[in-house]
Amino acid sequence: MTIQIDIFSGFFGAGKTTLIKKLIDENVYSKKVTLIENEFGEIPIDGAFLKKYNIEIKEIKAGCICCSTVIDFTNTLREIIKSKETERIIIEPSGVGKLSEIVKIVKKLEEDNDIHLNLVIAAVDVTMYEEFTELFSEFYGDQIIHASTILLSRTQNVDDEELAKVVSKIREINETASIVTTPWDDLSGIELLGLSEADGQQILRDDDLSTFDLDFEDHDHDHDHDEDDHNHDIFTSWGIETTKIFPVIKLKSIFEDLKDEAVFGKVVRSKGKVQIDGVNWVEFDFVPNALEIRASEPDEIGRITVIGHDLNQAILDTVF
Protein backbone atom coordinates (compact mmCIF):
# COMPACT_ATOMS: atom_id res chain seq x y z
CA MET A 1 0.00 0.00 0.00
CA THR A 2 1.43 3.34 -1.05
CA ILE A 3 0.90 6.09 1.51
CA GLN A 4 -0.18 9.37 -0.08
CA ILE A 5 1.29 12.55 1.42
CA ASP A 6 -0.39 15.96 1.13
CA ILE A 7 1.34 19.19 2.21
CA PHE A 8 -0.81 22.21 3.09
CA SER A 9 1.47 25.22 3.44
CA GLY A 10 0.67 28.91 3.73
CA PHE A 11 1.70 32.00 5.64
CA PHE A 12 0.06 32.94 8.96
CA GLY A 13 -3.71 33.27 8.63
CA ALA A 14 -3.98 32.04 5.04
CA GLY A 15 -6.48 29.34 5.99
CA LYS A 16 -4.53 26.07 6.12
CA THR A 17 -6.40 24.65 9.10
CA THR A 18 -9.75 25.90 7.74
CA LEU A 19 -9.06 24.06 4.50
CA ILE A 20 -8.09 20.82 6.26
CA LYS A 21 -11.19 20.97 8.46
CA LYS A 22 -13.35 21.51 5.36
CA LEU A 23 -11.91 18.44 3.67
CA ILE A 24 -12.38 16.31 6.79
CA ASP A 25 -15.87 17.68 7.51
CA GLU A 26 -16.99 16.76 3.99
CA ASN A 27 -15.48 13.25 4.24
CA VAL A 28 -13.08 13.88 1.39
CA TYR A 29 -10.45 11.97 3.34
CA SER A 30 -12.29 8.67 3.64
CA LYS A 31 -9.10 6.70 4.24
CA LYS A 32 -7.27 6.51 7.54
CA VAL A 33 -5.45 9.81 7.96
CA THR A 34 -2.58 11.02 10.14
CA LEU A 35 -2.00 14.76 10.48
CA ILE A 36 1.42 16.19 11.32
CA GLU A 37 0.71 19.59 12.86
CA ASN A 38 3.48 22.15 13.36
CA GLU A 39 2.43 25.32 15.18
CA PHE A 40 4.39 28.49 15.78
CA GLY A 41 4.28 29.45 19.44
CA GLU A 42 3.90 27.79 22.81
CA ILE A 43 0.10 27.70 23.08
CA PRO A 44 -1.32 24.99 20.76
CA ILE A 45 -4.45 26.22 18.99
CA ASP A 46 -4.95 24.38 15.71
CA GLY A 47 -4.11 20.99 17.20
CA ALA A 48 -6.77 21.54 19.86
CA PHE A 49 -9.31 22.54 17.21
CA LEU A 50 -8.59 19.42 15.16
CA LYS A 51 -8.63 16.91 18.02
CA LYS A 52 -12.42 16.55 17.79
CA TYR A 53 -11.99 14.96 14.35
CA ASN A 54 -11.50 11.24 14.04
CA ILE A 55 -7.91 11.46 12.86
CA GLU A 56 -4.55 10.83 14.49
CA ILE A 57 -2.63 14.03 15.18
CA LYS A 58 1.12 14.26 15.69
CA GLU A 59 2.04 17.69 17.05
CA ILE A 60 5.56 19.04 16.59
CA LYS A 61 6.15 22.09 18.77
CA ALA A 62 8.93 24.45 19.79
CA GLY A 63 10.29 25.02 16.32
CA CYS A 64 9.80 24.79 12.60
CA ILE A 65 9.78 21.34 10.96
CA CYS A 66 11.91 22.61 8.08
CA CYS A 67 14.81 23.70 10.27
CA SER A 68 15.12 23.58 14.08
CA THR A 69 12.97 20.46 14.51
CA VAL A 70 13.77 18.81 11.19
CA ILE A 71 15.05 15.66 12.94
CA ASP A 72 11.84 15.35 14.96
CA PHE A 73 9.80 15.83 11.79
CA THR A 74 11.79 13.28 9.81
CA ASN A 75 11.64 10.73 12.62
CA THR A 76 7.89 11.28 13.03
CA LEU A 77 7.37 10.66 9.33
CA ARG A 78 9.49 7.51 9.47
CA GLU A 79 7.54 6.17 12.45
CA ILE A 80 4.18 6.78 10.76
CA ILE A 81 5.36 5.12 7.56
CA LYS A 82 6.88 2.16 9.41
CA SER A 83 3.70 1.54 11.42
CA LYS A 84 1.70 0.96 8.22
CA GLU A 85 -1.41 2.06 10.11
CA THR A 86 -2.31 5.02 7.92
CA GLU A 87 -3.14 5.47 4.26
CA ARG A 88 -2.71 9.22 3.99
CA ILE A 89 -0.48 11.73 5.75
CA ILE A 90 -1.35 15.42 5.91
CA ILE A 91 1.49 17.80 6.73
CA GLU A 92 0.57 21.29 7.98
CA PRO A 93 3.74 23.34 8.50
CA SER A 94 3.83 26.53 10.53
CA GLY A 95 3.20 29.83 8.76
CA VAL A 96 6.93 30.41 8.33
CA GLY A 97 7.74 26.87 7.22
CA LYS A 98 9.89 26.72 4.10
CA LEU A 99 7.90 24.61 1.65
CA SER A 100 11.05 23.88 -0.37
CA GLU A 101 12.67 22.19 2.63
CA ILE A 102 9.61 20.15 3.54
CA VAL A 103 9.25 18.90 -0.04
CA LYS A 104 12.94 17.98 -0.04
CA ILE A 105 12.56 15.91 3.14
CA VAL A 106 9.52 14.04 1.81
CA LYS A 107 11.18 13.44 -1.56
CA LYS A 108 14.23 11.98 0.18
CA LEU A 109 12.05 9.58 2.17
CA GLU A 110 10.20 8.69 -1.02
CA GLU A 111 13.36 7.07 -2.36
CA ASP A 112 13.35 4.27 0.25
CA ASN A 113 9.72 4.01 1.34
CA ASP A 114 6.39 3.16 -0.23
CA ILE A 115 5.09 6.72 -0.14
CA HIS A 116 4.00 9.22 -2.77
CA LEU A 117 4.10 13.02 -2.53
CA ASN A 118 0.65 13.86 -3.84
CA LEU A 119 -0.44 17.44 -3.07
CA VAL A 120 1.89 20.42 -2.61
CA ILE A 121 -0.48 23.28 -1.79
CA ALA A 122 0.11 26.87 -0.74
CA ALA A 123 -2.84 28.80 0.66
CA VAL A 124 -2.45 32.53 -0.03
CA ASP A 125 -4.62 35.28 1.48
CA VAL A 126 -5.28 37.56 -1.48
CA THR A 127 -6.12 40.51 0.79
CA MET A 128 -2.65 40.43 2.40
CA TYR A 129 -0.57 39.47 -0.62
CA GLU A 130 1.01 42.87 -1.30
CA GLU A 131 1.87 43.63 2.33
CA PHE A 132 3.20 40.20 3.25
CA THR A 133 5.22 39.91 0.04
CA GLU A 134 6.90 43.20 0.82
CA LEU A 135 7.55 42.51 4.51
CA PHE A 136 8.16 38.74 4.62
CA SER A 137 9.20 37.75 1.11
CA GLU A 138 11.66 35.08 2.31
CA PHE A 139 8.87 32.87 3.65
CA TYR A 140 6.04 34.03 1.44
CA GLY A 141 7.96 33.66 -1.81
CA ASP A 142 9.30 30.21 -0.98
CA GLN A 143 5.81 28.85 -0.35
CA ILE A 144 4.46 30.26 -3.61
CA ILE A 145 7.42 29.26 -5.79
CA HIS A 146 7.43 25.63 -4.63
CA ALA A 147 3.70 24.94 -4.65
CA SER A 148 2.05 22.82 -7.33
CA THR A 149 -1.32 24.35 -6.45
CA ILE A 150 -2.04 27.80 -5.05
CA LEU A 151 -5.40 28.22 -3.36
CA LEU A 152 -6.25 31.90 -2.95
CA SER A 153 -8.29 32.59 0.18
CA ARG A 154 -10.69 35.50 0.89
CA THR A 155 -11.13 36.19 -2.83
CA GLN A 156 -14.73 37.15 -2.06
CA ASN A 157 -13.33 40.22 -0.28
CA VAL A 158 -11.65 41.77 -3.35
CA ASP A 159 -12.84 42.96 -6.75
CA ASP A 160 -11.89 41.35 -10.05
CA GLU A 161 -9.19 43.91 -10.80
CA GLU A 162 -7.35 43.38 -7.53
CA LEU A 163 -7.68 39.62 -7.87
CA ALA A 164 -6.28 39.68 -11.40
CA LYS A 165 -3.34 41.78 -10.21
CA VAL A 166 -2.43 39.26 -7.50
CA VAL A 167 -2.81 36.31 -9.89
CA SER A 168 -0.53 38.06 -12.39
CA LYS A 169 2.16 38.66 -9.76
CA ILE A 170 1.97 35.06 -8.55
CA ARG A 171 2.27 33.85 -12.13
CA GLU A 172 5.48 35.88 -12.53
CA ILE A 173 7.20 33.76 -9.87
CA ASN A 174 5.41 30.44 -10.44
CA GLU A 175 4.55 29.80 -14.08
CA THR A 176 3.19 26.28 -13.72
CA ALA A 177 1.13 26.03 -10.54
CA SER A 178 -2.62 25.61 -10.77
CA ILE A 179 -4.27 28.69 -9.26
CA VAL A 180 -7.74 28.39 -7.73
CA THR A 181 -9.47 31.72 -7.13
CA THR A 182 -13.04 30.58 -6.50
CA PRO A 183 -14.14 31.33 -2.91
CA TRP A 184 -13.71 28.14 -0.89
CA ASP A 185 -17.30 28.19 0.30
CA ASP A 186 -18.41 27.95 -3.34
CA LEU A 187 -16.48 24.73 -3.88
CA SER A 188 -17.02 21.35 -2.29
CA GLY A 189 -14.07 19.70 -0.62
CA ILE A 190 -13.92 17.07 -3.35
CA GLU A 191 -13.77 19.80 -6.01
CA LEU A 192 -10.96 21.56 -4.17
CA LEU A 193 -9.02 18.33 -3.83
CA GLY A 194 -9.66 17.43 -7.45
CA LEU A 195 -8.46 20.80 -8.69
CA SER A 196 -5.36 20.46 -6.54
CA GLU A 197 -4.55 16.97 -7.84
CA ALA A 198 -5.05 17.92 -11.49
CA ASP A 199 -2.26 19.10 -13.76
CA GLY A 200 -2.34 22.42 -15.55
CA GLN A 201 -2.82 26.10 -14.90
CA GLN A 202 -6.59 26.30 -14.62
CA ILE A 203 -7.71 29.58 -13.07
CA LEU A 204 -11.24 29.55 -11.71
CA ARG A 205 -13.58 32.06 -10.21
CA ASP A 206 -17.03 31.65 -11.67
CA ASP A 207 -16.10 29.07 -14.31
CA ASP A 208 -18.23 26.02 -14.96
CA LEU A 209 -16.65 23.26 -12.86
CA SER A 210 -18.30 20.59 -14.98
CA THR A 211 -15.78 21.33 -17.74
CA PHE A 212 -12.83 20.59 -15.49
CA ASP A 213 -11.31 17.12 -15.24
CA LEU A 214 -11.65 15.85 -11.68
CA ASP A 215 -9.89 12.57 -12.35
CA PHE A 216 -8.09 12.37 -8.99
CA GLU A 217 -4.95 10.89 -10.47
CA ASP A 218 -1.82 11.40 -8.43
CA HIS A 219 0.99 13.36 -10.06
CA ASP A 220 4.67 13.67 -9.27
CA HIS A 221 5.85 17.15 -8.37
CA ASP A 222 9.56 17.49 -9.06
CA HIS A 223 10.96 20.57 -7.36
CA ASP A 224 14.70 21.10 -7.58
CA HIS A 225 15.58 24.47 -6.12
CA ASP A 226 18.65 25.76 -4.36
CA GLU A 227 18.59 25.61 -0.60
CA ASP A 228 18.79 28.99 1.14
CA ASP A 229 19.09 29.95 4.77
CA HIS A 230 16.16 31.36 6.67
CA ASN A 231 15.65 32.99 10.02
CA HIS A 232 12.50 32.87 12.11
CA ASP A 233 13.78 35.31 14.71
CA ILE A 234 11.90 38.22 13.14
CA PHE A 235 8.69 36.65 14.48
CA THR A 236 7.64 36.33 18.07
CA SER A 237 4.68 34.62 19.66
CA TRP A 238 2.65 35.55 22.72
CA GLY A 239 0.11 33.17 24.18
CA ILE A 240 -2.08 32.56 27.18
CA GLU A 241 -4.48 30.03 28.64
CA THR A 242 -7.30 31.84 30.38
CA THR A 243 -10.59 31.45 32.20
CA LYS A 244 -11.61 35.04 31.48
CA ILE A 245 -14.85 35.82 29.67
CA PHE A 246 -14.57 37.98 26.55
CA PRO A 247 -17.90 39.30 25.26
CA VAL A 248 -17.96 39.50 21.46
CA ILE A 249 -18.09 43.29 21.50
CA LYS A 250 -14.94 43.29 23.66
CA LEU A 251 -13.15 40.87 21.31
CA LYS A 252 -13.94 43.07 18.32
CA SER A 253 -12.63 46.12 20.16
CA ILE A 254 -9.39 44.35 21.11
CA PHE A 255 -8.67 43.24 17.57
CA GLU A 256 -9.42 46.67 16.18
CA ASP A 257 -6.85 48.03 18.62
CA LEU A 258 -4.28 45.37 17.62
CA LYS A 259 -3.96 47.05 14.23
CA ASP A 260 -2.06 49.90 15.93
CA GLU A 261 1.57 48.93 15.25
CA ALA A 262 2.94 51.81 17.30
CA VAL A 263 1.37 50.28 20.41
CA PHE A 264 1.38 46.52 19.82
CA GLY A 265 4.04 45.95 17.18
CA LYS A 266 3.25 44.30 13.85
CA VAL A 267 0.54 41.69 14.52
CA VAL A 268 0.23 39.31 11.57
CA ARG A 269 -1.99 36.67 13.17
CA SER A 270 -4.07 35.89 16.21
CA LYS A 271 -6.28 32.90 16.86
CA GLY A 272 -7.88 31.16 19.76
CA LYS A 273 -10.95 30.01 21.61
CA VAL A 274 -12.59 31.84 24.51
CA GLN A 275 -15.78 31.98 26.56
CA ILE A 276 -18.05 34.93 25.66
CA ASP A 277 -20.62 34.60 28.46
CA GLY A 278 -21.65 32.15 31.15
CA VAL A 279 -22.50 29.44 28.60
CA ASN A 280 -21.19 30.15 25.10
CA TRP A 281 -17.77 29.84 23.53
CA VAL A 282 -16.30 31.07 20.24
CA GLU A 283 -13.27 30.43 18.07
CA PHE A 284 -11.65 33.43 16.41
CA ASP A 285 -9.18 34.07 13.60
CA PHE A 286 -7.58 37.47 13.08
CA VAL A 287 -5.36 38.84 10.33
CA PRO A 288 -4.95 42.60 9.80
CA ASN A 289 -7.67 42.73 7.13
CA ALA A 290 -10.17 40.29 8.61
CA LEU A 291 -11.64 39.03 11.88
CA GLU A 292 -13.73 35.87 11.92
CA ILE A 293 -15.65 34.82 15.04
CA ARG A 294 -17.66 31.60 15.03
CA ALA A 295 -19.58 29.63 17.64
CA SER A 296 -17.79 26.67 19.20
CA GLU A 297 -18.42 23.96 21.74
CA PRO A 298 -17.45 24.59 25.40
CA ASP A 299 -13.92 23.79 26.49
CA GLU A 300 -12.01 23.42 29.74
CA ILE A 301 -9.98 26.58 29.26
CA GLY A 302 -9.61 29.43 26.79
CA ARG A 303 -6.55 29.73 24.59
CA ILE A 304 -5.22 32.80 22.79
CA THR A 305 -2.11 33.25 20.68
CA VAL A 306 -0.75 36.33 18.94
CA ILE A 307 2.04 36.18 16.34
CA GLY A 308 3.94 39.09 14.89
CA HIS A 309 7.08 41.18 14.62
CA ASP A 310 8.39 43.30 17.54
CA LEU A 311 5.34 42.44 19.65
CA ASN A 312 4.81 44.45 22.82
CA GLN A 313 4.15 41.49 25.07
CA ALA A 314 3.66 43.60 28.20
CA ILE A 315 0.76 45.42 26.54
CA LEU A 316 -0.71 42.13 25.35
CA ASP A 317 -0.61 40.86 28.93
CA THR A 318 -2.65 43.89 29.94
CA VAL A 319 -5.15 43.73 27.09
CA PHE A 320 -5.96 40.04 27.45
Give the C-alpha separation, 313 to 281, whole Å.
25
pLDDT digit string, tens, across residues 55-92:
788 887 656 666 656 788 888 999 999 998 899 999 99
> pLDDT by residue for the chain (320 residues), tens digit each?
899 999 999 988 899 988 988 888 888 887 788 999 887 765 555 555 566 666 788 887 656 666 656 788 888 999 999 998 899 999 998 887 889 989 999 999 999 999 999 999 999 999 999 988 888 887 788 999 999 999 999 999 999 999 999 999 999 999 999 999 999 999 998 888 888 765 544 444 444 333 333 232 333 334 343 444 444 567 888 999 999 999 999 999 999 999 999 999 999 999 999 999 999 999 999 988 889 999 999 999 999 999 998 999 999 999 99
Q: pLDDT value at position 136?
A: 81
Q: What is the dihedral of CA 183, 187, 189, 194, to 10 degrees?
A: -100
Looking at the DSSP bridge assignments, the partners of residue 308 are 236, 267
Give the C-alpha separation, 277 to 279, whole Å.
5
**What are the residues whose beta carbons fall under 8 Å from the beta carbon of 100, sequence distance 6 or more?**
66, 142, 145, 146, 223, 225, 227
CA angle 49, 53, 58 (to 5 degrees): 75
Q: pLDDT value at position 206?
A: 43
Burial class of residue 118 in the structure, from the number of CB atoms within 10 Å of its CB (0-12 exposed, 13-18 middle, 19+ buried): buried
Q: pLDDT value at position 203?
A: 46
- What pTM was estimated for this model as a whole? 0.79
Give the C-alpha separation, 176 to 190, whole Å.
22
Domains of the chain: 3-211 (3.40.50.300), 236-319 (3.30.1220.10)
